[in-house]
A = this chain, B = another copy of it.
């Protein structure tokens, strides 16, 4: 939709909600067939050409903007889509098709009394709002996850991918229509004004998923009463314990910092035990060799005088680029305290050969992901084996950490009786059986 008026968008979301009910009640074979058909449609040569043509338009606009210094080249790379990327997306859709059903799963089956049966059954949330970065494959993955979980979805992708996203939605709508599902089960919003309207529909939209900059996530959280699933910040630490292996320290520090500096699971601060100078030296030398700017506390600079001095602000900074701050701590206690104060509850790692220290770190750090001798960058739905990832949540309620399709369902309690009333039960009257079947 272009420049949606409030009432138009609201009507569309009402239609999405109704379409969602149809998605919710698809049989398992129907849902599989729908995802399979989506993969097939994306493989049709005519559809591929249309998508790639749309993408070329976006890329040309992006390259023009880039020349004017407006767009990072990393963004242009993420923006592009070709036959190979499409084939990967189709693989993903087929994997989702084959994956176990998440809708209609029985969680409880309990006889409260004769002929009074309580079931708890998973169901979709209803209508999802998803705002995501300029990465067209995200649109396909999110749509697949929404269909797999039986949710309608209102999508808003990065504006740089608009033409690609339009072409992708043509394919999706064609498949929905062929399966007798209102195409408004998947809605593409095309501008920021639409997002502002979307955020007001708290009686229709069940979950907002916000991906993108920390600033944008804060904007979403501050401007809606719809529940938001997001990670606003990703301030992750790697702690070199006094029994850290120097080689692992270097490998993990470099991977955690450099393999994708803009990612939320990238390390921002390296903590080192005062008794782990060898591991520290190994990590710092490897980071410097990988062109990382290292900013150190006084104790760190006492060993490595050439590095930049860190300020207090560094301990709360998500750099998003090849910069890392380094701080000495006295011991595990001080590392835990620093992480509790400055971490964003995303991913925290300890490097140590001491199992007891690792056990304590994993037991006591309050974060979605707590790692021992592994890079923080493993914190990812695909790497965790969740299939496609909706996003990473640093909230504690509902899904936590990397969120796959299971994070897009809830449940309902269904009770079937033959006329029972509560005043029949109680002291001196009938008792509940509470028998799990």
**B-contacting residues of A (Cβ < 8 Å)?**
21, 24-25, 110, 112, 116, 118, 125-126, 206-207, 227, 245, 247-248, 251-252, 254-256, 259, 358, 362-364, 366-375, 377-380, 383-385, 395-398, 400-402, 410-423, 425, 432, 434
Contact = CB atoms under 8 A, between A and B. Distances in A.
Contacts of A259: 421-423
B118 A375 contact: no
Contacts of A362: 414, 416
Contact of A248 (B371, B414, B419, B425): B419
Interface centre among A125, A207, A383 (most CB of B within 10 A): A383
Dominant secondary structure at the A interface = mixed
Given A368-B413, A400-B412, A413-B402, A395 B118 contact: no
A25 B245 CA distance: 28
B415 A372 contact: yes
A370 to B, nearest CB: 5
A360 to B, nearest CB: 9
Report the 5 A-B pairs with minimum CB-CB distance, sorted nearest first. Answer: A374-B417, A255-B421, A385-B434, A248-B419, A397-B398
Nearest to A384: B118
A411 B367 CA distance: 9
Contacts of A400: 410-413
A207 B368 CA distance: 16
State the copy count for this chain: 2
A200 B143 CA distance: 37
A230 B158 CA distance: 35
A373 to B, nearest CB: 5
Contact of A126 (B254, B366, B415): B366
A419 B252 CA distance: 7
Nearest to A364: B21
Contact of A419 (B110, B251, B358): B251
Contacts of A358: 416
Given A112-B383, A385-B112, A126 B396 contact: yes
Contact of A367 (B25, B380, B412): B412
Given A396-B206, A396-B207, A397-B397, A369 B415 contact: yes
A412 B368 contact: yes
Contact of A421 (B245, B375, B419): B375
Interface centre among A25, A383, A401, A412 (most CB of B within 10 A): A412
Contact of A116 (B364, B374, B417): B374
A115 B396 CA distance: 28
A126 B396 CA distance: 9
A108 B81 CA distance: 34
B372 A416 contact: yes
16 contacts: A112-B385, A126-B396, A251-B419, A255-B423, A367-B412, A368-B412, A369-B415, A371-B414, A371-B416, A372-B415, A375-B422, A383-B425, A384-B413, A396-B410, A397-B397, A400-B411
A371 B248 CA distance: 57
Contacts of A395: 227
B374 A432 contact: no
A413 B25 contact: no
A368 B120 CA distance: 10
A180 to B, nearest CB: 17
A339 to B, nearest CB: 13
A245 B413 CA distance: 23
A228 to B, nearest CB: 10
